[in-house]
Structure 1
Amino acid sequence: MTDTPLPSESPLTGNVLFYSQPEPITIEAHGDLGVNATDNPYAFIAQSHLVPLTVTEFAPAALSYPVIFLGDTKQPVAVMGLGEGQNLFIDAAGALRGDCYIPAYARRYPFVFANDQEQNRMILCIDRAAPFVAKGGEVPLFVNGEPSDYVNAAMEFCNNFEGERQRTESFVALLNELDLFDTREAVFTPRDEQGNPGQPQKLAEYQAVSEDKLKALSPEKLAELRDNGALGQIYAHLPSLLGWDGLIALAVQRSNAPAGNA
């Protein structure tokens, strides 16, 4: 498998969240492009309430968001809002809160690997639609006909991310094998001005590790999970689920804010 930013003669496969125009980086197509500095580099996630995570990010992400599993693949994600089109950690100007963890999935943007199945390799791509990618940009993609240090650093980051992605798939497969997942619901009970509870509202349905199933494992299996690091990641995931209350508080705060500050 090659991981050099070379042109591809065969089709690339896969659609990637947040990337609207990914293109394999080549000197012919992108030799005059660069990336400009921007005050709000994460504005592109403002309309998403979910951002994918890798397993080694569970602990730092859990300090900011609920970490849950979604879909048939049980993709781990950070929950950044209570519904589609709402990210409670991005303000109206596109600025990310300075006290929250930034998932690697977002930090690698505008770069991403695409799968070239015919040649069995990963190709480094850039989202040509990213607003801070422009002709004559401050940080060039190529210098003297070769990938710049910036592109090489992006290559290394994406390479590491791919390794973490594969590690995450193995982690989820292990939890599936042990039948540790349960379906859960996040529920909000509103209260009136007198503090009386109203009708409970379901915010989300998702997969999470079952503490009861975890406790039922044999001592030998628990020791195995401890030794391979999976138990530590599970223990980071579980307390993160308390973060739903924090999301609700942020949503209430935003709804009560003046329109110009929302």
Structure 2
Amino acid sequence: RADENLHVQRDGHWSECYIPAFVRRYPYALAADGERFQVVLDEAWPGFNTEEGDPLFDSEGSESESLKRTLAFLEEYQGHVRTTQAFMGELNRLDLLESRQLQRAVSAGEEAQVLTGLWMINEDKLKALPADQAQALLKNGALGWIYAHLLSLVNLDRLNARLGQRIEAEKSAA
């Protein structure tokens, strides 16, 4: 089911305890400006107004404490983006990623539900890495992230179950 996020309820609310930083940063974002980034914001966001809430700037035109916290969060977020990009570049360089799909078992006569666009670490390729490359992954911390990813794959079963629940709810509502 294209363009569907099973962690977002039909009413648009996030259904999990943890909200990803990519979502939390809204209505702000960073836009690349050469080597630097500029803060951009969604001026249409209803939270921006002149009647209530925290101002972006104080009476002297300096950044408010609220804006300073937001800027610190965005800077930290961008640092994590760079780290993730470097990590993914290393996985690609070592040819450890492979495209996978998840198929949901369906009843007779129903169209199969397939989740595509999943990228996973190929454990066989990981185990076949030369010792010096595996050692480098261990020393730079990437090996821990790799195993965290592999351990997280059990959550695909939960995601598959969530898709089944949503499909059943849609059938009941129809």
Question: What is the deviation of 1:237?
Answer: 1.3
Question: What is the deviation of 1:110?
Answer: 1.1
Task: Name the structure 1 match of 2:162.
Answer: 250
From 142, 155, 165, the equivalent of 2:57 is 142
* CA distance, structure 2, for counterparts of residue 166 and residue 237 of structure 1: 18
Structure 2 letter corresponding to 1:213: K
* CA distance, structure 2, for counterparts of residue 143 and residue 185 of structure 1: 51
Q: Is the contact made by 2:98 and 2:120 (CA closer than 8 Å) also made in structure 1?
A: yes
Residues 1-262 of structure 1 aligned to structure 2 (within 5 Å):
83-84=2-3, 86-99=4-17, 101-117=18-34, 120-144=35-59, 145-192=61-108, 200-257=112-169
Question: What is the deviation of 1:198?
Answer: 7.2
> What CA deviation, in whole Å up to 9, does each residue of 1:181-238 have, x standing for no partner?
122121222135xxxx977543214322110100001223212211111011111112
Q: Is the contact made by 1:189 and 1:199 (CA closer than 8 Å) also made in structure 2?
A: no
In structure 1, list runs of 5 or more residues that go unmatched.
1-81
Task: Name the structure 2 match of 1:69.
Answer: none
Q: Is the contact made by 2:7 and 2:16 (CA closer than 8 Å) also made in structure 1?
A: no
* CA distance, structure 2, for counterparts of residue 121 and residue 220 of structure 1: 35
* CA distance, structure 2, for counterparts of residue 131 and residue 142 of structure 1: 18
Question: What is the deviation of 1:83?
Answer: 3.1
- 4+ residue segments displaced more than 4 Å: 197-201
Q: 1:185 to 1:258 in 2, by over 3 A?
A: closer
Aligned length: 171
TM-score (norm 2): 0.84
* CA distance, structure 2, for counterparts of residue 146 and residue 140 of structure 1: 11
> What CA deviation, in whole Å up to 9, does each residue of 1:119-153 have, x standing for no partner?
x4211121112232223231111111221111111
Structure whose residues are more often strand by fraction: 1
* CA distance, structure 2, for counterparts of residue 146 and residue 90 of structure 1: 37
- Percent identity of equivalent pairs: 35
Structure whose residues are more often helix by fraction: 2
Q: 1:215 to 1:199 in 2, by over 3 A?
A: farther
SS at match of 1:124: strand
> What CA deviation, in whole Å up to 9, does each residue of 1:100-120 have, x standing for no partner?
x21111111111111223xx4
Structure 2 letter corresponding to 1:83: A
TM-score (norm 1): 0.58
Q: Is the contact made by 1:182 and 1:207 (CA closer than 8 Å) also made in structure 2?
A: yes
